[in-house]
Structure 1
């Protein structure tokens, strides 16, 4: 299961206007240019500087699967930063985002009323304030549990409490996530 942070990153990647480099050589050249040197690229990828140089010159062409994944993640993390920032700003100010999940939801409610947790499939639009909270928390290095709590608060408000028009005081627990997708 992917993390909520990974889902946020994938949602921003869908805003890209051009595809990221595909070949290992093109990806390595891009990373070296962005990090301003082969030494920094090597440190970011956890490989030697000489290995980076070999990929840049084309002597090595096919990275191991583990390195291929790290290389792709590092390139996508830096690809089209202005497009990514524009999509983030739009979601955080006007559009919001859509959370689609299959997870276990349980409730904490007023005394005398409880509901056992059960697996639910939910697709719900969240207003811009929750998008802003999620993106800001992600930038500040929030862990997965903190991001899930923000998403749970948004789902509680919009889905379970119908934008706070009913079920006041209902607290939602968001656990056992099987699937989680975010769309801008």
Structure 2
């Protein structure tokens, strides 16, 4: 009589260090492009939380949507399942994890750099600690910050996110003299703005 080994639970796997196989599968799942912003991977977007091997042929992936009801989650899950099936994992489950909630602070520095190069103004830093996010309607036009140009240039080069109340920087010319055209753009997570120096319109990945 052959006794099947008990399947590990996600809680059991969370209590131990990540295995080499889990690290490899996390890298593969994290390389999946975001369906709405294919310039970013799921790892760079910050929505991939963990990969747990429950047994040699069964894997559970934890995914946090950018907001509840995000229509892209189904496509993300399907693409994750596909790449892990191609790796030889027959049983793949993608589980939505809502806590801790995703915020735009979870986007990596590399992700912010790619957004900027793609012509999208990356989100500014929202908070330094976990807690309620205050939602306010900001001004339609931003003006240059009080800090020096050298400080601003250094922050841009380092890819550091600016504070949430900092002026928005045009991804084309770097000017902070921009205005809001529409609070919604091609997707709900982006706003449409225009630079008043180079006159180019651009998307802004809104802070959350």
Give the TM interval when normalised to the shorter protein: under 0.3
Higher helix share: 1
Question: Normalising by structure 2, what TM-score?
Answer: 0.23
Question: Normalising by structure 1, what TM-score?
Answer: 0.25
